[in-house]
Amino acid sequence: MEEKRYYKLTFHKSHRETLCEKYINHVLQEGKAITVRNRQRKLYINNPSQNWGGYRSTKWNHVTFEHPASFDTLAMDSKKKEGIINDLIKFSEGKEYYAKIGKAWKRGYLLYGPPGTGKSSMIAAMANYLNYDIYDLELTTAKDNTELRRLLIETTSKSIIVIEDIDCSLDLTGQRKKKKQQEKDEEKKDPASKMAKGEEESSSKVTLSGLLNFIDGLWSACGGERIIVFTTNYVEKLDPALIRRGRMDKHIEMSYCGFEAFKVLAKNYLDVDSHELFATIDHLLEETDMTPADVAENLMPKSQNEDAETCLKKLIEAIKTAKEEATKKAEEEARLKAEKEEKEKQEATQEDVKVDESLAKDVVENGVDVVKDDKTLGNEVKENGVTA
């Protein structure tokens, strides 16, 4: 048999109250914290509901989470990064505070910005920093709001629940009423389209109301220490009710690459802190929108012969090319806009001509002189002495 290992603690009876009420609780809490820090973090994905009923079946499948992203390697302005870290620390240590103010121990983050700006890397960095598991929730596999709640109940504390590209998930944007009316109009014109869409529509009946209750309704208080993250490329498409404060408490814009973010990438990919080409890159990035993903791709050496200077020059050429393309695109958009305005102006002029022709026709038919030019009006004044 394996020998049991233990510590024997002897103390004076005058310290009994301190030991029992404080020290033992402290040891237990520290033991749990060490277990959490040393455990393997997991990345979960929800199973379709038809797979929930089998032997040893689960609502979530998982793999070991091994993403290496951290806040040190995240391409972002240092002050903005520091603010996010402080917010995460405040949340993770806020159990008593949340109980005091009467709120469920959870927090919502909205990550928005163009593709390639590091939204997924931000989630991984948050999970690694807090030692949290990640639940990647695919809304389209949940048939209705009840299934969505059952998935929530199965999540654990110390976790991040992620819904990526929320603007593409079901019909949850601010345009849902307009879209439904448009679909009804199309169905009247083409009844066959309704039959074709029937199978797709029946796949998921999760509603905006159901998702809102999932985020901050009564069911959201089941468990604690959870972070809910939405990502989107188009924040303007989202329903304001979905992203208001209290649901998505902190809105984080993942923007194009600035000089501070570039320096992080240069350190990550090339192991350089400064270079004579940095000033040129700084100037170009102020004038050109380029995502951190594009910058990183140009900084990554593609062969053993490429050194730091070669990669930096390659990045400079890529930024210049992107600037030229952006200029051409802007000029093309301006040209199309001018053509559209000119066309609208011509159409308005044609409408005015049609109105004048119609008015002239009425004058001829009814014998009524409605419009007089300046010359005719002047002759009448001379002949009749009347000022019209």
- Tell me, what's the pLDDT at 183? 58
Rounded distance between C-alpha atoms, residue 285 and residue 262, angstroms: 9
Query: Which string of DSSP letters, residue by residue, matches 122-186?
Result: HHHHHHHHHT-EEEE--GGG--SHHHHHHHHHTPPSSEEEEE-SGGGSSS-BTTHHHHHHHHHHH
Q: What is the pLDDT along the chain (388 residues), one digit of tens a residue?
A: 567 777 777 888 888 888 888 888 888 888 877 876 777 889 999 998 887 877 667 899 999 999 999 999 999 999 999 999 999 999 999 999 999 999 999 999 999 999 999 999 999 999 999 999 999 999 988 889 999 999 999 999 999 999 999 988 766 654 445 555 565 566 556 655 555 544 444 467 888 888 888 888 887 777 789 999 999 999 999 999 999 988 999 999 999 999 999 999 999 999 999 999 999 999 999 999 999 999 999 999 999 989 999 999 999 999 999 999 999 999 999 999 999 988 888 888 877 777 666 776 666 666 555 444 555 545 555 565 554 4
Token pair 């302005």 in the structure block, residue: 77
Count of CB atoms situated within 10 Å of the CB of 275: 14
Tens-place pLDDT, residues 323-335 = 999 999 999 999 9
Q: Walk me through the domains of the chain, giving residue ranges and CATH numbers.
A: 15-253 (3.40.50.300), 259-365 (no CATH)
**For the CA atoms of 313, 317, 318, 320, what is the dihedral angle to 10 degrees?**
140
Rounded distance between C-alpha atoms, residue 163 and residue 230, angstroms: 5
Instruction: List, in sequence order, every beta strand (DSSP E) within the chain.
Output: 42-46, 60-64, 106-112, 133-136, 159-163, 226-232, 250-253
Quick one: what percent of the chain has pLDDT higher than 90?
A: 53
Q: Are 142 and 283 in contact (CB under 8 A)?
A: no
Distance between first and last Cα of the chain: 122
Rounded distance between C-alpha atoms, residue 298 and residue 311, angstroms: 7
- Tell me, what's the pLDDT at 384? 59
- Tell me, what's the pLDDT at 174? 47
> Roughly what angle, to the nearest 10 degrees, separates helices 292-299 and 308-366?
140
Rounded distance between C-alpha atoms, residue 54 and residue 299, angstroms: 49
> Roughly what angle, to the nearest 10 degrees, separates helices 145-153 and 208-216?
20
